[in-house]
Amino acid sequence: MKRAICAAAAADLIPDGAVVMIGGFMAVGSPHRLIDAIVAASKRNLTVIANDTGLPGKGIGKLIAAGCVSRVVASHIGLNPQTQKAMLAGEIDVELVPQGTLAERIRAAGFGLGGVLTKTGLGTIAAEGQRVIDIDGEQWLYAPPLFAEFALVAAERADYNGNLLYQLTARNFNPVMAMAGRIVICEPREIIPVGTIPPDSVDTPGVLVDHLIERAPR
């Protein structure tokens, strides 16, 4: 059984300079209360691995605006002009990774694989500085696995064993990030009794989850 902690206590677990994966897709399916707690704690020099950097004032965009982030690994930043401005000013280092490749690099870390081979970006500027491998006369880009010290995920439901159930597009990145983070912190919409989530509906098993965020006060 896991005891739920408040968002502020969870944020205290994350040191300055940590590498964190944050689930969600354009701020949908992101752990919003935990993000707010990180901003309130004035964390600095975080490396954020995510699909995107949210929007101004939404999701990861709050971390960008608060100056919490020094490096971003994401598939795009086009919806957040604040991230673009910080990148051009040299305040944030941005590594752009094709979306499918990003997901596979995270999955490779969680599944103990040495990386992935892809043709996406081959022959373009996206391949500059990357390792190219020849297999039977075909060239492939090698993409190394992506690990994180913390995976911050959001779920629709959790039980007190930490079993998680996601909803709709929250399944895009949250499940694979829960596999790739050394410490997994989940912010569920609700926490329900053990046994309430049918085994076939469990998206992330509780053995992977270290901390649950308690429900927001009504």
Would you say domain 7-212 falls under CATH 3.40.1080.10? yes
| pLDDT for res 3 | 86
Query: What are the boundaries of each domain within the chain?
Result: 7-212
Structure confidence at residue 130 (pLDDT): 87
Which pLDDT score is estimated for 129? 85
Q: Residue 123's pLDDT is what?
A: 86
Q: What HEC string does 96-123 produce?
A: ECCHHHHHHHHHHHHCCCCCEEECCCCC
Length of the chain: 218
Instruction: Record the tokens describing residue 51, joined without a space.
Output: 């699909």
**CA–CA separation, 60 and 50 (whole Å):** 9
Which residues, at least 6 apart from 188, have a Cβ–Cβ distance to it below 8 Å?
154, 155, 156, 157, 158, 164, 212, 213, 215
What pLDDT was estimated at residue 218? 63
Contacts with 140 (C-beta within 8 Å, 6 or more apart), sequence order: 117, 118, 119, 122, 132, 133, 134
Show pLDDT as tens, one digit a residue, over the chain (218 residues): 788 999 999 999 999 999 999 999 988 899 999 999 999 999 999 999 999 999 999 999 999 999 999 999 999 999 999 999 999 999 999 999 999 999 999 999 999 999 999 999 898 887 888 899 999 999 999 999 999 999 999 999 999 999 999 998 888 899 999 999 999 999 999 999 999 999 999 999 999 999 999 987 66
For residue 162, CA distances in Å to 20, 112, 199 come to: 20, 22, 13
Alpha carbon distance 146, 144 (integer Å): 7
- Residues 66-103: b if buried by 16+ CB within 10 A, e if exposed: bebbbebbbbbbebbebbbebbeeeebebebbbbebbb
pTM of the model: 0.94
